[in-house]
Amino acid sequence: MDLARFPRIRLGHLPTPLEPLDNLTRLLGGPRLWIKRDDCTGLSTGGNKTRKLEYLMAEAQAQQADVVITQGATQSNHARQTAAAAAKLGMHCHILLEDRTGYTEPEYTDNGNVLLDRLHGATVERRAGGSNMQAEMEAVAAKLSREGRRPYVIPGGGSNPVGALGYVNAALELLNQSVEMGLRIDVLVHGTGSAGTQAGLVAGLQAMNSAIRLLGIGVRAPRDKQEGMVYDLACRTWALLGLRGELPRAAVEANCDYVGSGYGLPTPGMTEAVALLARTEGILLDPVYSGKAMAGLIDLVRKGQLTPDQNIVFLHTGGSAALFGYPGALGLQTP
Ligand X SMILES: *Cc1c(COP(=O)(O)O)cnc(C)c1O
Report the 10 Å Cβ neighbour count for 313. Answer: 24
Q: Strand 151-153 vs strand 123-127: parallel, antiparallel, or unpaired? A: unpaired
CB of 196 to ligand X, least distance (A): 4
Interacting positions 137-196 with ligand X (CB under 6 A): 157, 159, 191-196
Size of the site for ligand X (CB under 6 A): 20
CB of 135 to ligand X, least distance (A): 20
Q: Is 25 in the site for ligand X (CB under 6 A)?
A: no
Q: Is 36 in the site for ligand X (CB under 6 A)?
A: no
CB of 197 to ligand X, least distance (A): 3
Can you give 157-222 as a three-state secondary structure string? HHCCHHHHHHHHHHHHHHHHHHHHHCCCCCEEEEEECCCHHHHHHHHHHHHCCCCCEEEEEECCCC
d(CA 167, CA 231): 14
Cβ closest to ligand X, residue 197 vs residue 267:
197
Binds ligand X (CB under 6 A): choice among 269, 287, 318, 325 = 318
Binds ligand X (CB under 6 A): choice among 133, 290, 297, 325 = 290
d(CA 132, CA 152): 18
Q: Is 45 in the site for ligand X (CB under 6 A)?
A: no
Whether 145 sits among the annotated catalytic residues: the reply is no
From residue 130, how far is each of 97, 220, 224, 283, 287 by CA, in Å? Answer: 11, 14, 20, 33, 21
Interacting positions 92-121 with ligand X (CB under 6 A): none
Report the 10 Å Cβ neighbour count for 261. Answer: 7
d(CA 264, CA 78): 14
Binds ligand X (CB under 6 A): choice among 44, 48, 111, 160 = 48
CB of 292 to ligand X, least distance (A): 9
User: Mask 49-88, x = binds ligand X (CB under 6 A)?
Assistant: ----------------------------xx----------
Q: Is 319 in the site for ligand X (CB under 6 A)?
A: yes
CB-based burial, 298-312: b 16+ in 10 Å, e otherwise: bbbbeeeebeeebbb
Cβ closest to ligand X, residue 113 vs residue 178:
113
Q: Is 271 in the site for ligand X (CB under 6 A)?
A: no
CB of 335 to ligand X, least distance (A): 30
Please give the single-letter amino acid code of residue 66: D
Which residues are known to be catalytic? Answer: 76
Q: Residues in the site for ligand X, rule: CB under 6 A?
A: 47-48, 77-78, 157, 159, 191-198, 286, 289-290, 317-319
